[in-house]
Structure 1
Amino acid sequence: MPAHPPRGRRATERKGDVRERAILDTCEALLADKGYEAMTVGDIAQGAGITRGALYFYFGSKQEVVTALVARTVQHLWERSRATAASDDPRRAVAAAMRRTVELWNEHGLVMRTAIDLSLTVPEIGDLWRHTADLFIAAITAVLERAGVRPGTGPDQAAAMARALCWMIERSFYHASQESRDSLRRASATCEHIWLISAGLTP
């Protein structure tokens, strides 16, 4: 997706790419171990096997590291979901998009919840999350229109329904992912059912 890198990041050779990946992987592990507020730049650098000075070559702050981690995660989410949502069969598109979304929430639910929690206080993360939501709203709109829902922004038209579905899925997954994989699976099944009803694809 077209996301601008945080301040301080530079184009580097392959060794730099490996280090950057190590920084982001360490950040994700520390989110689980300590949480956003407690972890420090020093913690991230130590976990990645580099000095604080070396970390600042890639990122200017802890906030920038987390923003880059969120960007990487939502990029994976979009890559997994966009092709399946483009299927000519709306029912298959819904099922596949939900399945891919569940997979990523199972793998990176903590990052996704952190993005949601920080989206109101960290402008870069808020912009990134809203941009990602807009991409999914457009994809859901296209599925609804292929299923016969009228185009437009009226309450019973595709764009407005897609926006409501997108934010419903986000909230449902946010809460369910804190409980268990089974809770997430059930929440996904419910959201998928509501999406199919909205598209007129249930018997």
Structure 2
Amino acid sequence: MAETTGGKRRQGPRKGDLREKAILDAAEALLEREGVELMTVESIAKGAGISRASLYFYFGSKLDVLSVLVARTVDAMAAQADVAQSADDSADDVVTASVRHTANLWREHGVVLRAAVDLAPVTPEIRRMWTGTVTRYAAAMTEVLARAGVADPAMAEALCWMTERTFYWASVNGDDLDRTADICAQIWCATIRGNN
């Protein structure tokens, strides 16, 4: 929604929102080129086209930037959980679509998702976001599986963590993410059929 200021309508995002996006985009690009260890606040600021002092106006540290970058990416995963939970399609179709969506996120933002997995054990905020996202996805998929006759919630949770780890290693190794999605979907669907 456009905001009015002194009788004029402001179109589009605010300058601060654009700067924050530029910072996050620069951090994602740096993750791809340099990794977490070599990336600095200075290199992020330079990549975003701002001064280091300006970056500190938006973020307190490199870790703060990474946390928000992870949040931006896992929000897209969490949104897919809501779509899966409300879908009226068969469980096999919902599972397959969800796993393919996950493959697309790993393809587009694998470097961020790998960083989230790598940083989760040592960064409480990222661990909370990451496990919260997988838990939310498991809750949604528990409902999908229950509609297909699989009543044990632990099944969906185990399958979600299996999928997360499988995509992580596929991304690390440069494996074909579409093939990874097919394999994960087959396991999900076999579980559904095996429990009916």
Report the TM-score, using the length of structure 2 for normalisation: 0.88
Q: Which runs of 5+ in 1 are unaligned?
A: 1-12, 151-156
Question: Does residue 200 of the first structure (1) align with residue 181 of the second (2)?
Answer: no
Name the aligned partner's letter for residue 166 of structure 1: C
Superposition pairs for residues 32-111 of structure 1, below 5 Å? 32-88=32-88, 89-111=90-112
Between the two proteins, the alignment pairs up a number of residues equal to 183
Name the aligned partner's letter for residue 63 of structure 1: L
CA contact (8 A) 1:105 1:112 kept: yes
Q: Tell me the SS of whatever aligns to 2:37.
A: coil
CA contact (8 A) 2:77 2:102 kept: yes
**1:31 shift after superposition:** 0.5
Cα distance in 1, alignment partners of residues 133 and 77 from structure 2: 9
Question: Does residue 119 of the first structure (1) align with residue 112 of the second (2)?
Answer: no
**1:201 shift after superposition:** 7.2
Aligned to 2:159: 165
CA contact (8 A) 1:196 1:202 kept: no
Aligned to 1:191: 184
Whichever structure has more helix as a proportion of its residues is 2
Higher relative contact order (CA 8 A, sep 6+): 2
Cα gap change, 1:123/1:111 in structure 2, threshold over 3 Å: closer, same or farther?
A: same
Aligned to 2:19: 19
Q: Tell me the SS of whatever aligns to 2:21.
A: helix
How big is each residue's C-alpha offset from its partner over 1:118-137, in whole Å with a ceiling of 9 and x where there is no partner? 00001110111111011111
Cα distance in 2, alignment partners of residues 15 and 194 from structure 1: 46
Cα distance in 2, alignment partners of residues 96 and 30 from structure 1: 30
Aligned to 2:5: none
Cα distance in 1, alignment partners of residues 71 and 173 from structure 2: 24
**1:140 shift after superposition:** 1.2
CA contact (8 A) 2:84 2:141 kept: no
Cα gap change, 1:201/1:103 in structure 2, threshold over 3 Å: closer, same or farther?
A: farther
Name the aligned partner's letter for residue 128 of structure 1: M
Name the aligned partner's letter for residue 166 of structure 2: S
Report the TM-score, using the length of structure 1 for normalisation: 0.85
Could you say what the CA RMSD is over the residues aligned between the two structures, in angstroms?
1.7
Q: Which runs of 5+ in 2 are unaligned?
A: 1-12
How big is each residue's C-alpha offset from its partner over 1:28-75, in whole Å with a ceiling of 9 and x where there is no partner? 000011110111100001110111111111100000000000000011
CA contact (8 A) 1:81 1:101 kept: no
Aligned to 2:7: none
**1:84 shift after superposition:** 3.6
Cα distance in 2, alignment partners of residues 101 and 81 from structure 1: 10
Cα gap change, 1:49/1:22 in structure 2, threshold over 3 Å: closer, same or farther?
A: same
Name the aligned partner's letter for residue 64 of structure 1: D
Cα distance in 1, alignment partners of residues 24 and 170 from structure 2: 25
Q: Tell me the SS of whatever aligns to 2:150.
A: coil
Name the aligned partner's letter for residue 160 of structure 1: A
CA contact (8 A) 1:137 1:166 kept: yes
